[in-house]
Amino acid sequence: MAHTRLDPASITLADLERDPYEVYASLRPQQPIVWMPALDAWLVTRWDDCVAIGGQHDDLVPGHDVDDEFFGAPNVLRIEGDEHRGLRAGIDARLRPRVVKSYVEDAARPVAIDYIEQVRAKGRADLTTEVFERISVRVVGDQLGLRDVDDATLVRWFHTLSEGHTNAEGDTERASAAASSLAEIDSFLRDRVERMRREPDGSIIAHMLHGGIAPGGEPRRYEDVIGSIRVIILGGFQEPGNAVANTFLGLFSRPEQLSELAADPERLANTALQEGLRWIAPIGTVTRTARNDIERGGVVIPAGARIQLAVGSANRDESRYEEAERFDLDRMLQPNATFGYGEHYCAGHFLARDIGRIVIEETVRRLPGLRPDPTEPAVVSGFSFRGAKHLPAVWDA
């Protein structure tokens, strides 16, 4: 399909928040690496270009200065070298595949069953807000070390941080809500982290304090980890929930495939999730900063420039995926770019995938005849964090 050539200067943040995939489809064949004034960044949209540029580690600085400004420095998005490897050793201790497999069934399945059963008799619900987000924050929050923080607070934290982190327009209400949540998180965690320095409890936060430390070294301080905890609250809390919501949005467009999944959830849940992660990436871009000039395809990205690797676009590259815009459970299974590149590849991807698989299995088992609510459409939005923010559904109660 031929696309009209876009003027990048005409594309607004509102356009991208509404539907970046329309923009991506026009940019990929004609302007795959392009300066986007609305983003104050170079946007990279093709699979091969994202892989090539994302792999030039010596020429890239992870993240961007805005990450330090928002989350605080240091944070796991921005640090490099031995500092990054040490902190990741702590974070990864509870997130490696074998470790996740040892606890995820007991940690996630009872929560998924409980929250789905709470809405089952109603015959209708907003699956995103009433079910999937709550499961996501509860399971990840428990592993992080926040078992005593209620669901509503955890959801509010990640929503306000998401709105604040993507607030390029400078909306004062969004900025104020994010600042309030950051202060609340700081107030809640400071004493807890100090206690975990003395008495580690096996949580992800405790491992961040004690893991990857040189023999005889002191545990990390609160100031060393709080920026990274905020990153996990923003990305880790919402990613599993949005991934499942996006998967069911896709399945609602293919009712015959939803029926196939419902007939054999144990076999097909992981396949459905993989396709959902490809079709709409919950975190749609990976940010880097050019350390040196980067040349690709006749385009030079200058040193110091911000780069957005659009993994959501790479996942729909026509040169890699046939009928890429279509959700398809029968698609040939192949890797996607959703969780990023290189040493900053998402630490929580194993946990996110297993939570997602379990939630999909239990949803189709416990909500027979699941289908979109004919009276209320889904609400899908977001550029950096994209998902079915509201997914009204009905079933045979």
CATH of the domain at 262: 1.10.630.10
The pLDDT of residue 123: 98
Residue 143 resides in a domain: yes
* Encoded amino acid at 253, one letter: S
Q: Which helix (H) or strand (E) holds 389?
A: strand 387-390
Residue 228 resides in a domain: yes
Residue 252 resides in a domain: yes
The pLDDT of residue 52: 97
Residue 3 resides in a domain: no
pTM, two decimal places: 0.97
Alpha-carbon gap, residue 359 to 251, rounded angstroms: 14
Q: How confident is the model at residue 2 (pLDDT cuts 50, 70, 90)?
A: low
DSSP-derived 3-state class of residue 199: coil
User: Domain range holding 22?
Assistant: 8-394
When pLDDT is averaged across residues 233-252 and rounded to a whole number, the result is 97
Whole-number percent of the chain with pLDDT over 70: 99
Q: How confident is the model at residue 1 (pLDDT cuts 50, 70, 90)?
A: low
* Average pLDDT over all residues of the chain: 97
Alpha-carbon gap, residue 207 to 227, rounded angstroms: 15
Which tens digit of pLDDT belongs to each residue from 68-127? 999 999 999 999 999 999 999 999 999 999 999 999 999 999 999 999 999 999 999 999
Say how many domains are in the chain: 1
| Beta strand segments in 23-134, E | 33-36, 41-44, 60-62, 124-126
Residue 13 resides in a domain: yes
Alpha-carbon gap, residue 229 to 204, rounded angstroms: 9
State both tokens at 174: 């969004």
- Residue tagged 């605080």 (tokens): 72
Residue 1 resides in a domain: no
Residue 61 resides in a domain: yes
Which tens digit of pLDDT belongs to each residue from 326-359? 999 999 989 999 999 989 999 999 999 999 999 9
The pLDDT of residue 5: 87
The pLDDT of residue 155: 98
Residue 297 resides in a domain: yes
State both tokens at 233: 């609250």
- Residue tagged 């040490």 (tokens): 86
The pLDDT of residue 129: 98
Which tens digit of pLDDT belongs to each residue from 275-331? 999 999 999 999 999 999 999 999 999 999 999 999 999 999 999 999 999 999 999
- Give the alpha-carbon dihedral of 84, 82, 222, 65, to 10 degrees: -50
Which tens digit of pLDDT belongs to each residue from 165-186? 999 888 999 999 999 999 999 9
Q: Please give the span between the terminal C-alpha atoms of the chain, in angstroms, as a whole number.
A: 43
Which tens digit of pLDDT belongs to each residue from 129-166? 999 999 999 999 999 999 999 999 999 999 999 999 99
